[in-house]
Structures are given as structure tokens and as C-alpha cells.
Amino acid sequence: MRKAYVPNRRSALSTYELLVRTEFAAAHRLHGYDGDCERLHGHNWKVDVVLRGERLDGLGMVVDFRDAKRLIQEVLEEFDHQNLNELPRFETANPTTENIARAIFEALAERLPEGLAVARVTAWESDQCGASYSHST
């Protein structure tokens, strides 16, 4: 007979992951790129953020989605309706989709409360093309 699952029991390997999908609009150009993307152009970026936590609160949530969305929007305010090349974080890095995913990951990680971590950020420059960033564990 199988043991009943007890949600409050903690296993060393148990984690919860939450996905929040959002978007922002911004322009960029890729320095040194041989093609159209070297010219200034824009995207309606889609962003998938995966948050990870090991514990549930008294309501059974890792974090309230409302709070998660607020924190993510605070980060994306820096990017929204901007020329990404003009942002300080892209002074030394090309604003590629890969670097945008990393920048969002790092900025969000600084804002999260204890017990909550960024597992992965995927930035989509189109419906078919995106890049993800995560830390190796």
C-alpha cells in the first residue's frame, strides 16, 4: 500500500516551480552583426519567468502570482519602450536575446524574497525564436 502524499512534508529533492508570462516592447541593434539586425529595429518581447521555491505558505502557495507579477514588472519597466543599446547594462554587452534573458534573470534575482529563486528566464523576440538563461546547479 502506498503512503499518502503529505504536502507539508519536505523532501530534499522537492521543489515547486511557477511560470509567469509577460511582455514588453523595445528596440535594439546588434553591433557587429552582418545583416539586418545591425540596424535599429524593435520587438514585442515575450518573457517567461520560472520561479522556484521549496516551501508553501499557509495558503499553499510558493508566492502569490500577484506579487510575482509585480516584481517582474518592476524589472521590465527598465526595458519597456526603450532603445536597449542605451541602457547602462548594455554598455559593454550586445543586447542579444541571450543577454536580455540574463539581464532580466539577474535583476529579478536581486529583488526576490528569501526562499524564492529564479530558475530560468526565457526571452522571446518572436513566436519562433527565444533564448533562456539559468544558473547551473
The length of the chain is 137
Grid coordinates representing 81 are: 519602450
What letter represents residue 136's amino acid? S
86 is catalytic: no
74 is catalytic: no
Q: Which one from 23, 31, 37, 135 is the annotated catalytic residue? A: 37
How many helices and strands (H and E) does the chain possess?
2, 5
Number of Cβ within a 10 Å radius of residue 66: 7
Q: What is the Cα–Cα distance from 23 to 120, expressed in whole angstroms?
A: 16
Q: Which one from 17, 31, 38, 81 is the annotated catalytic residue? A: 81
**Taking Cα atoms as reference points, which of 74, 71, 60, 53 lies closest to residue 6?**
60
129 is catalytic: no
Q: Which residues are catalytic?
A: 37, 81, 125
